Amino acid sequence: MIPTIIWNDNKVKMIDQTLLPHELKFLEFDDYRDVAQSIKVMNIRGAPAIGVAAAMGMALATIEYKKLPKERFLKSMEEAANLIRSTRPTASNLFWAVNRIWKIISTFPDEPLNISELVIEEAKIMAQEDINVNKGIGKNGAALLKDGDVVLTHCNAGSLATVQYGTALAPVRAAIEEGKNISVIADETRPRLQGARLTAYELHYDKIPVKVISDTSSGLIMRLGKIDKVIVGTDRVTSDAVFNKIGTYLVALAAKDNNIPFYVAAPTSTLSLHETIEDVTIEQRDSSEVSNILGKVQIVPDGVECLNYAFDITPFRLLTGIITEDGVFTPEELLKKYK
Amino acid sequence: MIPTIIWNDNKVKMIDQTLLPHELKFLEFDDYRDVAQSIKVMNIRGAPAIGVAAAMGMALATIEYKKLPKERFLKSMEEAANLIRSTRPTASNLFWAVNRIWKIISTFPDEPLNISELVIEEAKIMAQEDINVNKGIGKNGAALLKDGDVVLTHCNAGSLATVQYGTALAPVRAAIEEGKNISVIADETRPRLQGARLTAYELHYDKIPVKVISDTSSGLIMRLGKIDKVIVGTDRVTSDAVFNKIGTYLVALAAKDNNIPFYVAAPTSTLSLHETIEDVTIEQRDSSEVSNILGKVQIVPDGVECLNYAFDITPFRLLTGIITEDGVFTPEELLKKYK
């Protein structure tokens, strides 16, 4: 398991996930604008990982602006925060992370000269917290898995979606650490193929058995009795639904129809329980992500438009449970505990 | 609308669908083995089209063997029939077509010298019947569509899946001929992308409005109210389920969950109502169709296996109606009429 993102010598260092599974290459940025761009074009993706990237981007901005007088410093930081927040509209971790950094910035009493150290320290703490949270999800989720279980997952909510260890894949990792035999079936997850490229890559890298299926196959595979549990991640949990990668709703419907438990691994930082479905903007991305696979093969005739919604809405009624770092909850229990 | 397959001067001429949407190229075969291979590698696909291809392949075999004495002729024809039947195990049209040709061959009283003409004639009749059946499905299905409807379809059950006109797309074509505004949203249909490549191609070619979505998107698109009806084709209808391209079951679940009518366009040649789900072998194709998109982009790490089931099982309880050339039926009515 390689860390997805680290703070290194006043630079942000991250795996370029657009090149996986073919090449393991690292990007290094010392400009917050480059970090924002890397979130937007998905060099880094996954709700927890982009939360930490956002915090580290804010830290880079403080280095750039720390010599400015306070008022201009705050104005410049606000621009940086707005740019970072604008990159992906659906993931709540992005907002959560920027807000958490902003609390330090806005309460800082004097000249901004030393604020950098405080913000850098906070970003590093957030990275470490992410790992701790994921280990908690792993421990709580592992208790749901039996020796021999096959887990279906959609998209990548693994180590590569976080700083390390993953959310949806954390229970798998933890159960295997406890000595259980667990294997994974990964939906390929069109259009960006995070399941085929990233989930398969990180599990294969860590010698955890994994097979890939087309997104069209999950229903049949469940019907054939090949899946014991489904675990997916999430980008935002409102009081009535889970927002996660497009395709999640179909998997949840198939799990329900086949009486297969469907779990969502949700760090509490993704909980946004004051909101409902109507409050959330579903990110629409460029038609070309569908029409041209990874920018390499055009699959749709010239002149035909594609619709490309990035996230799906899975209503609470389709969930068996939500795994947080604090425990496993039904939707009702979750609302009771956190709302 | 270009004919997908025709009998031309003692040759079988067909569109090479593996090259679409980039290139419109025709293949010509005078050897039944090449026709069998073209079915297997999916130069031609779609249940009705491969039925006619199988009949025309049998006709080529009669030309090759017609000078043999009767016993050796029959033995050779049996080999040809077996080869053709073995190409795709799930589509019942293949068996239906070979059996229909076999009836002529097996009842032929004398030397096989003139049998070729009879078989060629029968294959041509089957091609024309296919078009007539599709027009019937179109007429019956068009009555279900209202002006302004948006129809979601999965895979390609259009003109390219038949000799001409299509099955699932026949109601769309007929409704437009009746003056209604109808547009189509096409699931891309991984792994072979028949929706993105073929449905989008033939509709765009015929100036029928079409947009493409990833297979992961159908649930959300329905939830957002963008779909009025779903119509798909089928490769085989048993007494309890519809067998169609992998992914159909997920679309049916989403339609049910969103109260959207879900129709299956089924020529009566696809009805196999003496069978049940347990009788049908689901074709498994090579892992590389999933791991390597159209043989051009590898999306899965080396060493990771993919599962590749070609067909899905959609139980009768998820269907609103089945459109045949005779009318539109609920599953119960269908069983009553045809079983």
Q: Identify the closest residue of chain B to A301 by CA–CA distance.
A: B21
Residue A110 has pLDDT above 80, yes or no: no
Q: Is B68 exposed, middle or buried (0-12, 13-18, 19+ CB in 10 A)?
A: middle
| Closest residue in chain B to residue A221, using alpha carbons only | B309
Taking 50 as the pLDDT cut, the residues of chain B under it are none
User: Smallest Cα–Cα separation from A187: which of B191, B254, B244, B185?
Assistant: B191
Using DSSP, state whether A304 is helix, strand or coil: coil
Q: Which residues of B117-130 are buried (b: 16+ CB within 10 A; e: fewer)?
A: ebbbebbbebbebb
Closest CA–CA distance from residue B136 to any residue of chain A (Å) = 29
Q: Which of B245, B128, B241 is nearest to B198 (CA)?
A: B245
One of B130, B235, B257, B302 is an active-site residue; which one? B235
* Distances A19 to A44, A101, A192, A289, B289 between C-alpha atoms, Å: 11, 30, 12, 15, 21
Q: How many CB atoms lie within 10 A of CB A79?
A: 13
CB nearest A213 (choices: B197, B290, B302)? B290
Distance CA A191, CA B193 (A): 12
Q: Are B25 and B16 in contact (CB under 8 A)?
A: yes
Same fold, B5-133 and B137-338: no
For B95, the token pair is 């068996």
Q: CA A82, CA A280: separation in Å to the nearest integer?
A: 18
pLDDT given for residue A193 in this prediction: 97
pLDDT band with cut points at 50, 70 and 90 for residue A113: low
pLDDT attached to residue B153: 98
Q: Do A196 and B291 touch (CB under 8 A)?
A: yes
Q: Which residues of A touch B254 (CB under 8 A)?
A: 249-250, 253
The helix/strand/coil state of B232 is strand
Catalytic positions of A = 235
Angle at A256 between CA A251 and CA A258, to 5 degrees: 95
Neighbours of B22 (CB within 10 A): 13
Chain A residues touching B293 at Cβ < 8 A: 293, 297, 299
E strand residue ranges, chain A: 5-8, 11-15, 26-29, 150-153, 183-187, 210-213, 229-232, 236-237, 241-245, 262-265, 292-293, 297-298, 305-307, 311-315, 321-324, 327-329
CB contact at 8 A, B186 and B195: yes
| Residue A249 at interface with chain B, using a CB cutoff of 8 Å | yes
C-alpha–C-alpha distance, residues A73 and A113, integer Å:
10
Rounded to a whole number of angstroms, the distance between the first and last alpha carbons of chain B is 34
Does the CB of A300 have a partner CB in chain B at under 8 Å? yes
* pLDDT in the model for residue B113: 64
Return the SS3 of B313.
strand
Second-level CATH architecture of B137-338: 3-Layer(aba) Sandwich (3.40)
Token pair listed for B287: 């892992």
What pLDDT sits at residue B143?
98
Contact B253 A193 (CB under 8 A): no
Question: In the CATH scheme, what architecture does the domain A5-133 have?
Answer: Up-down Bundle (1.20)
Q: For residue A257, what pLDDT is reported? A: 98
Asked if pLDDT for residue A50 goes beyond 70, the answer is yes
Structure confidence by residue, pLDDT tens digits, A235-272: 999 999 999 999 999 999 999 999 999 999 999 989 99
> pLDDT tens digits, residue range B103-120?
999 887 666 668 899 999
Rounded distance, CA A263 to CA B81, Å? 49
Selected for mutation to probe chain A from B300, B308, B312, B313 (highest A CB count within 10 Å) is B300
pLDDT bin (cut points 50, 70, 90) of residue A90 is confident
So what's the pLDDT on residue A93? 87
Count of A–B CB contacts within 8 Å?
A: 191
Could you state, in order of their start, the residue ranges of all structural domains in chain B? 5-133, 137-338
A298 and chain B: CB distance < 8 Å anywhere? yes
Cβ separation of A219 and B300 shorter than 8 Å?
no
Q: Do B290 and A219 touch (CB under 8 A)?
A: no
pTM score, two decimals?
A: 0.94
Q: Which one of B217, B285, B286, B309 makes the best mutation probe of the A interface by having the most chain A beta carbons within 10 Å?
A: B217
The pLDDT, as a whole number, for residue A290 is 98
Q: How far is Cα A64 from Cα A66, in angstroms, rounded to an integer? A: 6
Residues of A within 8 A of B215 (CB-CB) are: 190, 214-216, 247
Residue B230 forms contact with A (CB below 8 Å): no
Q: Where are the alpha helices (DSSP H) in A143-199?
A: 170-177, 194
Output the pLDDT for position B86.
Answer: 95
pLDDT number for residue A111: 63
Three-state DSSP string of B59-110: HHHHHHHCCCCHHHHHHHHHHHHHHHHCCCCCCHHHHHHHHHHHHHHHHCCC
Q: Do B300 and A250 touch (CB under 8 A)?
A: no
- Whether omega for the bond prior to residue A209 falls within 30 degrees of 0, making it cis, is no
C-alpha distance from A294 to closest chain B C-alpha (Å): 8
Encode burial over A270-309: b for 16+ CB neighbours within 10 A, e otherwise.
bbbeebeeeebebbebebebbbbbeeeebbbbeebebbbb
Structure tokens at A216: 């069209």
Interface test with B, best of A189, A217, A259 (most B CBs within 10 A): A217
In this complex, the residue of B190, B220, B254 whose CB is nearest that of residue A190 is: B190
Interfacial B residues in 39-68 facing A (CB < 8 Å):
none
Q: Is the dihedral of CA A155, A297, B45, B127 positive or negative?
A: positive
In this structure, what are the phi and psi dihedrals at residue A270, rounded to the nearest 5 degrees?
-90, -5
The vertex-B132 CA angle with B131 and B134, nearest 5°, equals 65
Greatest alpha-carbon span in chain B: 66
Position A11 confidence tier, pLDDT thresholds 50, 70, 90: very high
Written as six digits, the tokens of A298 are 């055009």
**Amino acid A240: pLDDT:** 98
- B191: nearest CA partner in chain A: A214
Q: A14 by DSSP, 3-state: which? A: strand
Do residues A13 and A5 touch, judged by C-beta distance below 8 A?
A: yes
Which of B200, B211, B301 is nearest residue A201 as measured by Cβ atoms?
B301
- The pLDDT, as a whole number, for residue A89 is 80
Q: How many CA atoms lie within 13 A of A282 on its CB side?
A: 22
CB B284 within 8 A of CB B309: yes
A215 in B contact zone (CB under 8 Å): yes
The CA distances from residue A65 to A8, A61, B26, B209, in Å, are 19, 6, 64, 52
Residues A120-138: what's their mean pLDDT?
A: 97
Task: Report ipTM for this prediction.
Answer: 0.93
Give the pair of three-digit tokens for residue B220: 């959300």
Looking at CA atoms only, how far is residue A76 from chain B in angstroms? 38
Q: Are A294 and A278 in contact (CB under 8 A)?
A: no
- Pair of tokens at residue B21: 């949407």
Pairwise CB contact (< 8 Å): B245 & A189:
no
User: Which residues touch B154 (CB under 8 Å, ≥6 apart)?
Assistant: B186, B187, B189, B195, B215, B218, B230, B232, B244, B245, B247, B248, B251
pLDDT at position A114 is 86
Judge whether residue A108 has pLDDT over 80.
no
- How far apart CA A97 and CA A103 sit, in angstroms, is 10
Which member of A190, A298, A313 has the closest CB to residue B223? Answer: A313
| pLDDT value, residue B107 | 84
**Mean pLDDT for chain A overall:** 96
What would you report as the CA-atom Rg of chain B, rounded to the nearest whole angstrom?
20
